[in-house]
Amino acid sequence: MELTVLNTNLDAVSIIDVYESFIWTDRYYACGDFELYTSMTDTILKYIRQDYYVQNRDSEHVMIIEKLRITSDAEAGNHITVTGRSLESILDRRIVWGQKTISGNLQNGIQTLLNENVISPSDGSRKISNFIFEASTDPAITSLKIDAQYTGNNLYDVISKICSERSIGFKVTLNDNKQFVFKLYAGADRSYDQEINPYVIFSPKFENIINSNYVESKSALKTVTLIGGEGEGSARRYTTVGGGNGLNRRELFTDARDISSDIGNGVTLTNVEYIAQLQQRGREKLTENTDVTSFEGQVETTVMFKYGEDFFNGDVVQIANEYGHETKARIVEIVMSENEEGSSVYPTFKTIEQEVA
């Protein structure tokens, strides 16, 4: 992989095509990250700096250099390890300032959060001047609704949880005008359960999975949550989300006392509106406590299907291993790596059953 380094003005200042190892990870529900390991030279130190950016032509994402670690060894020589996260991590630098209620169209609600805390906040010092919002026209995005309230929450955590709960992705990319472009998106279905897109199947019988790891775990699973809102003692307001009976019921308490029915300017939420806000918080909490069914595989990218052409991060594909485990699953992570042994691509899958649960 050839890497381009950009300075803080987003101008290209260097090309890196020689290194000992490189790992680049793109994610669907969250920011990605990277790690570059190479010999220490004066040239590297000149162009590899904190807050500079790294581009990879095999990915639409851009990484921010956050950490440099230099090691000295009399025998092995001096090396530098460079790490950082993708542009989505910029949202981690902002909180939802004060109390904010969003209701109705989900995309409009997220745009409002970004406008008030990143794009055009009332406090000019909070503004990121080259950050813009690009609306999606995909019905899978535009049809979504939300009722939620946030007070002081980390903006990245808010958006990541909303997207994870709804099985949609978010990304911040760099356009030709040197703008950071935020956009919601939904992966395409390429499984056997549809007839619109060509099928994408990863299976040993097609010789396009070199090795795989299959994991099932219910240790963290919660199926129902009691959400406690405002009020004290017997006057406290409660609702529930989820369900289950007997041994299949796994309970969790969600403290949502910060959600208030008084949203300011003399406006008070109705009981129905307030309960909807509590239930949104409960759904987000259950999303953090799901069962785990993951399938990781090293893909042979020269056989049948190629990442970036036949399938993309966020797509739903058909997967199988040699022990009869077969299902449709969403690609939630793509890890690209390169070292002296060669290049590889590792997708991580999340089963659709897990998303629905």
DSSP string covering 234-255: GG--EEEEE---GGG--EEEEE
DSSP state letter for 139 = H
Model pTM? 0.84
Q: What is the largest CA-CA distance in the chain?
A: 71
The CATH number of residue 125's host domain is 3.55.50.10
Q: Are residues 311 and 207 in the same domain?
A: yes
Residue 296 confidence class, pLDDT cut points 50, 70, 90: low
Given 267, 286, 305, the domain boundary residue is 286
Clarify whether residues 106 and 22 are in a common domain.
no
Higher pLDDT, 326 or 176: 176
Nearest-angstrom CA–CA distance, 351 and 214: 11
Same domain, 209 and 343: yes
Give a yes or no: residue 190 inside a domain. no
When comparing pLDDT for 33 and 292, which is higher? 33
Is residue 192 included in any domain, yes or no? no
Mean pLDDT, residues 337-343: 86
pLDDT over 90 at 101, yes or no:
yes
The span from the CA of 208 to the CA of 353, in Å, is 24
Q: Could you tell me the residue range of the domain that residue 102 belongs to?
A: 94-185
- Name the more confident of 293 and 230: 230
Among 55, 86, 117, the domain-final residue is 86
- Residue 353, pLDDT above cutoff 60: no
- Tell me: the pLDDT tens digits for 48-94? 999 999 999 999 999 999 999 999 887 878 899 999 999 999 999 99
For the ranges 43-47, 66-70, 122-126, 254-258, the lowest mean pLDDT is seen at 43-47
| Residue 196, domain member (yes or no) | no
Lowest mean pLDDT, pick from 27-41, 165-179, 342-356: 342-356
Number of domains, the chain: 4
Mean of pLDDT values over 266-290: 92
Q: Is 100 left (phi over 0), alpha (psi -120 to 50) or beta?
A: beta
Per-residue pLDDT, 297? 64
User: Same domain, yes or no, for 130 and 175?
Assistant: yes
Instruction: Confirm whether 158 is domain-assigned.
Output: yes
**Phi and psi at residue 92, to the nearest 5°:** -70, -10
- Report for 60-74, 110-124, 262-276: range of highest mean pLDDT: 110-124
pLDDT single digits (tens) 146-182 = 999 999 999 999 999 999 989 999 999 999 999 999 9
Let me know whether 214 and 108 are in one domain. no
Work out the number of other CB atoms within 10 angstroms of the CB of residue 212. Answer: 21
Q: What is the mean pLDDT of residues 303-328?
A: 84
Tell whether 314 and 209 lie within a shared domain: yes
Query: Are 40 and 76 part of one and the same domain?
Result: yes
- Whether 299 and 267 share a structural domain: no
pLDDT per residue as tens digits for the range 6-17: 999 999 999 998
Of 131, 217, 142, 224, the residue nearest 172 (C-alpha): 131
Q: Mean pLDDT throughout 120-149?
A: 96
Of the pLDDT bands very low, low, confident and very high (cuts 50, 70, 90), residue 357 is: very low
DSSP designation for 165: H
- State yes or no: pLDDT of 308 exceeds 90: no
**Using an 8 Å Cβ cutoff, are 277 and 269 in contact?**
yes
From CA 353, how far away is CA 357, in angstroms rounded? 6
β-bridge partners, 209: 299
Rounded CA-CA distance 352/203 in Å is 17
Q: What is the mean predicted confidence (pLDDT) over 196-208?
A: 87
Query: Per-residue pLDDT for 275 more than 50?
Result: yes
- pLDDT of 324 > 70? The answer is no
* Residue 195 is assigned to a structural domain of this protein: no
For residue 253, tell me if it sits in a domain.
yes
Q: Which residues pair with 182 in a beta bridge?
A: 133, 172
For residues 76 and 256, the model is more confident at 256
Last residue in a domain, options 62, 86, 110:
86
Indicate whether 238 and 252 sit together in one domain. Answer: yes
CATH of the domain at 331: 2.40.30
What would the mean pLDDT of 95-104 be, rounded to a whole number?
94
Residues 208 and 298 in one domain: yes
Q: Are residues 7 and 54 in the same domain?
A: yes
Helix, strand, coil share of the chain (percent; to 5): 20, 40, 35
Assign 3-class secondary structure to 72-84.
Answer: CCCCCCCEEEEEE
Q: Are residues 298 and 316 in the same domain?
A: yes
- Has residue 191 been placed in a domain? no
> What pLDDT is recorded for position 323?
66
Q: Which residues contact 33 (CB under 8 A, 6 or more apart)?
A: 25, 63, 83, 84, 85, 86
Spatial distance between the Cα atoms of 218 and 351, rounded to a whole number of angstroms: 14
Q: Would you say residue 169 lies in a domain?
A: yes
Question: Is the model's pLDDT at 111 over the cut of 90?
Answer: yes
